[in-house]
Structure 1
Amino acid sequence: YTRGFPLVDVTVIDDDEIMHHRRMAALTLLMKHIRQRDMMELLDRLPRVMVEWISPEQVRVLINYMVNAGEAPAPEFMRALAQRLPQHEDELMTIAQQLEQIGIEKGLKQGIQLGRQEGKLEGKLEGKLEVARTLLKMGMPHESVLEATGLTEEDLAQFRH
């Protein structure tokens, strides 16, 4: 390539103008809005250009782009899109279910990680309480036990009850 090429900033083009781009309208709309967390505002325009101007194979490519680029669309968006594009309903519903499953798995992983962190903290506290118990039995002054273990009065009060 020896010459420069034109660069178009689609983020500044009005959506109504994009709707007149015929075969490129769906892709241009998606490129403009792909990083949005909530793509629901595209539900009126996107299906219209997907049905009018592009082939079923291109629809599948655009769906793949939506799922893999930017923020993953919410399962609700895919379901609503499936209602507006009945000829692609099976594929869109499958993707919606997969997105839900991914969300469930992420939630489980976060829950497990949080549980582990809480377990470690509880284990450390129990260990410190055990050391404090031993030190007190050996006759070490109460204040010295607190200083040596880093426990608070409240922590030590748990041990006494």
Structure 2
Amino acid sequence: MSKSALSQHDSLFKKFLGDIPIAQDFLEAHLPLHLRERCDFSTLAMESGSVIEDDLRTQCSDMIYSVQTNSGKGYIYTVVEHQSRPEKLMAFRLLRYSVAAMQRHIEQGNNTLPVVIPVLFYHGTTSPYPYTTQWFDCFADPELAESVYRQAFPLVDITTIPDEEILMHRRVALLQLVQKHIRTRDML
């Protein structure tokens, strides 16, 4: 697709979805029911800026909306895919955009993460969209990835492990003991 056509698609997308009542209709039509039920669409507002990396701006356009939910402020994030072919790792890219929106939220002085709902708006020539939008499917081992990322990350809190247990950790025991007692003045 030519740069001119991409620019026209981008302008059309932003013109329509920049209108809050149209964006509200779009989201009410396309978000899953369990997400729609949590959103107060009367609070839908456009957020400024973009979370798409500079090198992808010629291929994509994004719109970010804030909306009050039953658990606070959330973001609805949409991406228009301007490529003529689908992207196999689009789910990962959507995750990256979501994390970027969360980071921006934190940088604005907030101390909790908002829920960001990424929405892929696809209009390519291949139909239907042939790839998953489940980011776990981007891994070679989706089951392993899900087992890691759907639970708390492993924590090694050396302050709670008794020294006797640390001594059984073989080659790493010395490092752990030093780190555990590093603030002890008379360690030696």
Per the TM superposition, whether the score is higher than 0.5 is no
Larger radius of gyration: 1
Q: Which has the higher helix share?
A: 1
Compute the TM-score of the two structures, normalised by the length of structure 2.
0.27
